[in-house]
Amino acid sequence: MNAERLRVAVIGVGHLGEYHVQKYKAIPGVELVGVVDVNRARANEIGERYHVTPFFDHHDILDHVDAVSLAVTTEMHFQVARDILSKGIHMLIEKPITYDLHDADTLIDMAKKHELVFQVGLVERFNPAIVHMESLLSKPVFVEAHRMNLFAKRGLDVDVVLDLMIHDLDIILHIVPSEVAEVHATGMAVITDKTDIASVRLVFADGTAANLTASRVSGKMLRKIRVFQPDAYISADCGKRQVTVIGLDDEARDEDGFPTVTSEKTKYEKSDPLADEINSFVSAVRNGTEAVVTGEDGRNALKIALNIIDQIDKGTTKFETIQAQK
């Protein structure tokens, strides 16, 4: 790897992959060698739009790059990622890491063997609202997460747990310093043939509890996580990139002796979590440091997600018409 120039590529340039292309193009000292997509028309379109060479097979570019973003469909993650890591190339893989824990372990072991940066694209960890929230945490007792999206005809190769909820699973596993002891899940398909709405309760070994709701058939957008701890209630709005902290002022008490409730709001209007994520990946590659969101982090979130999916699959997953009894 040239110390002055980092050669990168984006493999899979659909909706999300195109955003990766944009971010790499804006980083000084990074050369976007090419974009890859098996859809030739899409590869040519992105290549022409961003003035970069299009490729149609990832094997054709691996000898020419130091690092890649992998944004192909999840079912192809393991196969393509294995080819990338076997060539000694650093990788940022979009979430979920894979469909299978054994496959995830194989990729993690390969990255360690070749001393590669292996980052998982759980982008909300770079949302300034989440970063700020984490800096305020002492001992979370209860966590509540809502992630609601309008229906869109993309990301449908996975269900809502691996599409949306996995972001909140990753955040909660990161901020709660304890193992998950219990998982209770329910969900159902609404529009697609996969789970579109899911509700989950996690109980940790230290007593912390978390409720998560995710929907990709909602009437409005909502991406909020709330943390309750002994000294404060902290609300991080990922969509608005805003943090609200409700606390108690023991020194300012009312006439009945109760502490005064205080409120502080911080908003990060000029922020770009995906740019921060990709810049972090590039920095880790250049400096030989560990990724902020590691392969192990991606595996931990996948493990709980698969448990949730298994529970939902064993329960009610579809709406049923109940006819009135005569």
pLDDT digits (tens, 9 = 90+) for 217-240: 988 899 999 999 998 999 999 999
What was the pLDDT predicted at 325? 45
β 67-70/90-94 pair status: parallel
Q: Yes or no: say if 2 and 63 are a contact pair by the CB < 8 Å rule.
A: no
- pLDDT of 314 over the 50 cut: yes
Q: Is residue 140 reached through a cis peptide bond, with omega within 30 degrees of 0 on the bond before it?
A: no
Q: What is the mean pLDDT of the chain?
A: 93
Question: 273 by DSSP, 3-state: which?
Answer: helix
CATH number of 6-121+274-292: 3.40.50.720
Helix (H, G, I), strand (E, B) or coil at 132: helix
Mean pLDDT of all residues in 18-27: 98
**pLDDT at position 315:** 84
Which of the four pLDDT bands, split at 50, 70 and 90, describes residue 259? Answer: confident
Give me the mean pLDDT over the 34-47 stretch: 98
Question: So what's the pLDDT on residue 326?
Answer: 44
Domain with CATH 3.40.50.720 in the chain: 6-121+274-292
As annotated, the residues of the chain forming the CATH 3.30.360.10 domain(s) are 125-271+306-314
The pLDDT of 47-70, averaged and rounded, is: 98
pTM as predicted: 0.91
d(CA 320, CA 326): 18
The helix (run of H) or strand (run of E) holding residue 201 is: strand 197-204
pLDDT in tens, 269-311: 889 999 999 999 999 999 999 999 999 999 999 999 999 999 9
Please say whether the beta carbons of 34 and 55 come within 8 A. Answer: yes
Q: How confident is the model at residue 208 (pLDDT cuts 50, 70, 90)?
A: very high
Q: Pick the more confident residue, 119 or 262.
A: 119
- Strands laid side by side in the 53-55 sheet: 53-55, 30-36, 6-11, 67-70, 90-94, 118-121
Report residue 318's pLDDT band, with 50, 70 and 90 as the boundaries. low
CA distance 108 to 78: 11
**41 burial level (CB within 10 Å; 0-12, 13-18, 19+):** exposed
Q: What is the pLDDT of residue 160?
A: 94
- The superfamily CATH assigns to domain 125-271+306-314 is Dihydrodipicolinate Reductase; domain 2 (3.30.360.10)
Rg (CA), the chain: 21
**Average pLDDT value for residue range 114-118:** 98
Q: What is the pLDDT of residues 140-189, one digit of tens each?
A: 999 999 999 988 877 677 899 999 999 999 999 999 999 999 999 999 99
Q: Which amino acid is at 188?
A: M
Percent of the chain with pLDDT over 90: 82
Tell me, letter by letter, the H, E, C secondary structure of 63-121: HHCCEEEECCCHHHHHHHHHHHHHCCCEEEEECCCCCCHHHHHHHHHHHHHCCCCEEEE
The token pair at 69 is 């973003």
pLDDT at 323 over 60: no
Percent over 70 (pLDDT), the chain: 94
Q: What is the pLDDT of residues 71-101, one digit of tens each?
A: 999 999 999 999 999 999 999 999 999 999 9
**How many residues does the structure list for the chain?**
326
